[in-house]
Structure 1
Amino acid sequence: MGFAWLAGLMLLMQPSATADSFIIEIDGQPVAVAQKADYHFPLLGKPFVDDEKLDGFLAWVASRVNRQPINARIDDSGRIIAEENGRQLDVERLKHDFLQYYYGTGGMLVQNPYRTLLPKVDRKLLAQVRQKQIGWYVTYFNARNRNRSHNISLAAQAINNWVLLPGEVFSFNKVVGQRTAQKGYRPAPVIVRGELSEGIGGGICQVSSTLFNAVDRAGMHILKRYSHSREVPYVPPGRDATVSWYGPDFVFQNLYPYPVLIRAYARYGQVMVSVHSFQELEYEPRHVPGASTKLPQETNANEQKVTESGDS
C-alpha cells in the first residue's frame, strides 16, 4: 500500500522534460523524467548524488518497466494463444547512465534500459507437446455446492496449460499457491483430522486427486502423495491426494525425455485432467481405476448438513 501510494505521488510529481533532463524511454514512449537538482545531496557546497533518492527513483522506474513473461497457452476452443516476452529493468546500467548525466553537462536520453525475459513455453513447443495424450482422469462433483465448485474451478485453472520440461518437478502447492480469500477462494467443507469442518479453499483436494490419477495413468514418477484421514467420495479408496498449504503436498517429476503438458478444467460437475507430450514419446501407461459417476453427496449453499467433502 505504501509503495503504491509513493509511486502514484512520484508520477504526479514528474517534472516536465527540458534540454537538461534525464529522460527514460521504453519502446519509444517516455516513462520517467528526472532533473539534477532533485537529487542533490549538499556536501561542502559541491554537487553530490543523494543515493537514497536515486535508489527510490530507480525502484519507481522498475515498477513501471518490469513485467513477467507470459507463456503460450491453449484456450477453451483449442486455439494456441501466443507467448509474450517480459522485461526487467537493468538497474546497474540505468544507475551508471544517471551518474554520467549527473556529473556531466546537458541532458541524456536513455532508451530501453531493460533485459528481455523469454517465456518458458512458446507456440512452437506448445504445438508439439499437445500432440499425444498419455493420461487422463475425470471425477465428478455436485455443481449445486457453489463455493466448493468455485474453488475447484480456480485450482483447475491454476494447473491448466502447465508444461513440465524433462527432469522438472511439479509441486501442487507451489503451482496453485496459497488458497486465500484474497485470491478468490471461498469457505467450503474440508477434512481436518478426520472430521468435517469449514475452511477457505474446500474442494481443492478433488483437483489434486484428479491430477494424481491422470499423471499416474501416464506413468509419471510420483515423489510425494498422501491420503486423507478418511475416504473421500470422488475417487476409489486409496486413490486420493490430499494437499494443504501448511501440510501435505502432491509432487511428481517428469522423467521422460520430452516435455509434458497438463490440461485441466472444471465445469458442469466434472473435473477433467489430461496429460500430453510429443508424438515420439514412448511410455508405459499404468492401470488406474476410474472414478464413480455417482454424484457425491455434498452440501450446497442452501443445505444445512454436510455429508461428505474433500480436504482443502
Structure 2
Amino acid sequence: MGRRAEKEKNVKTKKVNIKVILLAIVAVVAIFSAVSYYTYKKNYEEMVNTVEINTIYTGVKVSGIDLSGKTEAEAVEVLREQLQKPLESQRLDITDVDRRYQYTFADFGAHYNIEGAAKKAFECGRSGDLKSRYKEVLGYAENGIDIEPEYSYDTEKVTTVLNELKAEFDVPAQNSQLTKSGGQFVATDEKAGYELDVEKTAEKLKEQLKSRQAGEFTAETKELLPTITKEQNMMATTLIGSYSTSFTNGPGSEGRNENLRIACASVNGTLLAPGEVFSMNATLGPQTYENGYKDAGVYVNGKVEQGVGGGVCQVTTTLYNAVINAELDIVERSNHSLTVAYVPMGMDAAIAGDYKDLKFKNSTDYPVYLEAYITTNKIITNVYGYEIHDSGHSVKYETVYNGSVPKPAEKITYDPNLPEGERVVTYAGKVGHKVSTYKVVYENGNEVSRTLFNNSTYRATADEVTVGTKKATATTDTAAATQ
C-alpha cells in the first residue's frame, strides 16, 4: 500500500513539474515575443518617422548648397537666390586692343535647371521599400550627397550678341583716295581695317560659358585689306578715254543746264576699284526738286514734255562714250526711245526710273577715276586709269543704218467746232530707225578687228491730227421789200 501510494505521488509530482516547465517556457516565449514586437514596432515607427517627411532629407545638397529640411518649393527659391542669380550676374568681358565690351552670363541665357535640381533633391530616398529607403536616408545623413544641377546656355543668343557686337566692333579698311586739283593727282595713304571673326570668337565664348566662371577673353578678328592702295592710284592717272558733247545756253535752257551741272558734279571724282561696277542711277540718286533738279525736256510716250531732271541723259551719254573709248566693259545700256541731237544714232545711253540704267565695270587691274564737268557750252567726261595698250592702239565706233520703222497709223481726234473736213496736224510723228554699232580696233593705223558692239532701235511715233465735223450752215437770200 505504501509503495504504491508513493509511486502515484511521484507521478503526480512529475506531472506538476512538466506543467510548470511548460508554463515557464510559454511565459518566456510570450515575454520574448512582446519584447520583440515592441522593438520591431519601435524600429518601424522610427523608420517611418525618418523617411515619411515632406522635406528634403538631411545631408542632401545641390552644387554644395545644403537643402536639408527644405520643401521642394523652398529649395527652388534657395537655389534661385544662391545659385542662379550669382551665375547670371557673373561678368564675361570681350576685349580688343583698346576696347572692352561688358556682358554677363545672363546675356547669353546661362542658367541652371533649378526646378529639376530641387525635384531630384526631394526625390532622394523616396523609392524602394521602407527598409532600403531608411538605410539610404541614414547614409545621406552620415555621408551626404551633392547633386550637380543641369546647366545650359543659349547658343542662339551667343550668335545674336556677337552679330550685334560686330556692327560696332568692325573697323572698315580705308582705301587710298584719289583727287585731282589744278591738273595734278593727289593720293592719300590706305589703311587696313579689321572685323570680328564671329565663328572663332563664338568658340572662345562658349568655352568660357561652359566653365561657368567669370572672366574675359580677347576677341578673334580678321584683317580687312583695302582694295585700292596709294601705289595703285598713282599708277592709274593716265587719260584712257574721253568724250564731249555740246549744249545751248539760250533762253529757257537754265533749268536743263543746272541739271547738267548737278549730274556732272555727282559723277566727278568717282573712283572705281578693279572689278567694281558703276551705276549711273545709283550715282545720281533720285532726280527730285529736293536734290536740286529743275524741270526740263524729257521723253514721255514718244513726245518731249517738261519733267524734273531733264538733261541728265546727255551727261549719261557723254560718260558712256568716254567709257567705251576707254574700252571698259559695258554691263547695261539702253538707247533713248527717240533719237537725240547731241550724238549719232547708236551712241546714246538713257536712264529712266528703275528700268533703264547705264552700268559699266572697271575691267582693268587698276583703279579708274572718272572726271565730269561743264564749260560754257560743253560737257566734258574723262576716264583715267592704267594704260595697257601700246601707243599705236586706237578704237572708234561706226554706226550702220539698218532701215527705218514706219510711222503708225495717225491718231485722229474729231472736233465739232472745226469745219467739216478740215485737218489740223497737232503733232508731227517721226519715222523710227534701226542701227547697228560696230567697234573697230586699229593698231598703228591698220584695222585689226571689227565687231558688233550693239543694236539700237528708235521708235516711230504717229501723227496726231484733229479733224473737223462741224456742218456748214445753209443761208437763204431774202429780197428786201420796199414800200
TM-score by length of 1: 0.67
Matched residue SS, 1:34: coil
1:152 and 2:263 are equivalent in the alignment: yes
CA drift at 1:94: 1.6
1:28 and 2:132 are equivalent in the alignment: no
1:218 and 2:314 are equivalent in the alignment: no
CA RMSD of aligned residues (A): 3.7
Equivalent-residue separation in structure 1 for 2:284 and 2:397 (angstroms)? 27
Equivalent-residue separation in structure 1 for 2:263 and 2:178 (angstroms)? 20
Structural mapping, 1:95-106, within 5 Å = 95-104=202-211, 105-106=213-214
CA drift at 1:263: 1.8
More helix by share: 2
1:93 and 2:93 are equivalent in the alignment: no
CA drift at 1:129: 1.8
Equivalent-residue separation in structure 1 for 2:328 and 2:166 (angstroms)? 40
Question: For 1:71-95, what per-residue CA distance to the aligned partner results, in whole angstroms no more than 9, with x for missing partners?
Answer: 3221242211222334332111121
- Counterpart residue identity of residue 36, structure 1: F
CA drift at 1:70: 3.4
Question: For 1:13-63, what per-residue CA distance to the aligned partner results, in whole angstroms no more than 9, with x for missing partners?
Answer: xxxxxx953323344222x21111333354623432133433332122111
- Counterpart residue identity of residue 274, structure 1: N
Structural mapping, 1:40-55, within 5 Å = 40-42=109-111, 44-45=113-114, 46-55=150-159
Matched residue SS, 2:152: coil
1:74 and 2:178 are equivalent in the alignment: yes
Equivalent-residue separation in structure 2 for 1:34 and 1:180 (angstroms)? 46
Equivalent-residue separation in structure 1 for 2:292 and 2:194 (angstroms)? 30
More strand by share: 2
Rate the CA distance shift 1:255–1:81 in 2: closer, same or farther, 3 A. closer
The residue aligned with 2:240 is 134
Contact 1:225–1:250 (Cα < 8 Å) also in 2 = yes
The residue aligned with 1:194 is 302
Equivalent-residue separation in structure 2 for 1:254 and 1:53 (angstroms)? 41
Of 88-97 and 50-59, deviating more is: 50-59
Contact 1:129–1:260 (Cα < 8 Å) also in 2 = yes
Of 244-253 and 207-216, deviating more is: 244-253
Matched residue SS, 2:368: strand
Q: Which runs of 5 or more structure 2 residues have no equivalent in the other structure?
A: 1-88, 115-149, 399-483
The residue aligned with 2:356 is 248
1:172 and 2:279 are equivalent in the alignment: yes
Structure label with greater radius of gyration: 2
Matched residue SS, 1:262: strand
Equivalent-residue separation in structure 1 for 2:221 and 2:300 (angstroms)? 48
Q: Which runs of 5 or more structure 1 residues have no equivalent in the other structure?
A: 1-18, 290-312
The residue aligned with 2:106 is 37
- Counterpart residue identity of residue 230, structure 2: R
Matched residue SS, 1:98: helix
Over the matched positions of the two proteins, sequence identity in percent amounts to: 21
CA drift at 1:127: 1.0
- Counterpart residue identity of residue 197, structure 2: D
Highest RCO, 1 vs 2 (Cα 8 Å, sep ≥ 6): 1
- Counterpart residue identity of residue 172, structure 1: S
Equivalent-residue separation in structure 2 for 1:35 and 1:203 (angstroms)? 59
1:286 and 2:395 are equivalent in the alignment: yes
Equivalent-residue separation in structure 2 for 1:249 and 1:280 (angstroms)? 28
Matched residue SS, 2:395: coil
